[in-house]
A and B are shown apart, each in its own frame.
Chain A
Amino acid sequence: MSPIILLSLALMSLALCLAFVRLFRGPTLPDRVVALELFSSILVGIIGVMAIATDVASLLDVAIVMALMAFMAAIGFARFLERGGPRDD
Chain B
Amino acid sequence: MTDIVGEGLVLVGALFMLLAALGVVRLPDLLTRMHATTKAATLGVTLIMLAVAIHFAQAAVVARAFGVILFILMTAPVAAHVIGRAGYFVGSRLWEGTVKDELKPHYDPLTHELKSGREGERRPGESDVP
Contacts and interface: CB of A to CB of B under 8 A. Distances in A.
B81 to A, nearest CB: 9
* Chain B interface category by residue count: 35 or more
Most buried by A among B14, B34, B87: B14
B103 interface: no
Contacts of B20: 15, 38, 41-42
A37 B72 CA distance: 12
Interface string B69-110: 001100110110011011101111000000000000000000
Contact of A87 (B22, B51, B64, B90): B90
B79 A52 contact: no
B18 A45 contact: no
Interface residues of A, number: 52
A28 B68 CA distance: 30
B6 to A, nearest CB: 7
24 contacts: A2-B3, A5-B7, A5-B10, A8-B13, A14-B18, A14-B21, A19-B24, A29-B90, A33-B83, A34-B24, A34-B34, A42-B17, A44-B45, A48-B45, A48-B48, A48-B68, A52-B52, A60-B68, A67-B71, A70-B79, A79-B82, A81-B86, A82-B86, A82-B90
Interface of B: 3, 6-8, 10-11, 13-15, 17-18, 20-22, 24-25, 30, 33-34, 37, 41-42, 44-45, 48-49, 51-52, 55-56, 58, 60-61, 64-65, 67-68, 71-72, 75-76, 78-79, 82-83, 85-87, 89-92
